Amino acid sequence: MLSRGSDWLIVLVAGVGYRVEVPSAFAAASYQGDEVFLHTQLVPREDSLTLFGFQTEEELSVFKILLTVNGVGPRTALGILNTLSPQQLAAAVAAEDDKPFKAVSGIGPKTAKLIVVSLAGKLAGIVAAEEPAAAQAAGSTPEVASQVIIGLVGLGYSEADAAQAVADAAGAGVDADSAQLLRAALKLLQIPKLKQGQR
């Protein structure tokens, strides 16, 4: 790394220096001469080519998904990732909570709400990754939990309810097999309906 700013780095690749826009926390933690590895996305515009870089594939994936939201450009998407980790962002979307997005500079109430609505169902894997302890306690993996959550969302359950049911089932010691986890999570999700039917 040749030099840095508050939210950018100049990195040397094969003798050529490239300016890469990065989350401010990463820029602050980088020093001249450091060797850095970045997952990058080139964003072309009529008058410019801008390179955005992230430490993890997860951050890059969330960045790309944010760009699909109407009204969210690359700078705004980077601003969101300056404020929220991928897990915090996914949790906010799963909970249908737009407050964390309103805290990001340049994002108003309408855009914050649009982000939550637009990303619903698209971050199940990241939500599952936020519950590693429960999943690992049952011997399952975030990948298995993610598959089950996606399946439940496909059945019509909200992402938040699906993630909670999977975490509860995994924490109860259900086998790591995805089919077993899916059955257990479905039973947990159906309990409120059964109670209502008994009234």
Q: How many domains does the chain have?
A: 3
Whether 85 and 135 map to the same domain: the answer is no
> How does residue 29 score in pLDDT terms, banded at 50, 70 and 90?
confident
> How does residue 147 score in pLDDT terms, banded at 50, 70 and 90?
confident
- Domain end point (choices 54, 75, 95): 54
Whether 109 and 132 map to the same domain: the answer is no
The CATH number given to whatever domain includes residue 38 is 2.40.50.140
Whether 90 and 24 map to the same domain: the answer is no
Whether 115 and 130 map to the same domain: the answer is no
Whether 135 and 181 map to the same domain: the answer is yes
- pLDDT one-digit tens code per residue, 63-120: 999 999 998 999 999 999 988 888 888 888 888 889 999 988 889 999 999 999 999 8
What gap in Å lies between CA 169 and CA 165, rounded to an integer?
6
Q: Which domain holds residue 171?
A: 124-198
Whether 140 and 113 map to the same domain: the answer is no
Whether 67 and 46 map to the same domain: the answer is no
What gap in Å lies between CA 175 and CA 157, rounded to an integer?
22
Does the pTM exceed 0.75?
Answer: no
Whether 42 and 71 map to the same domain: the answer is no
Whether 72 and 96 map to the same domain: the answer is yes
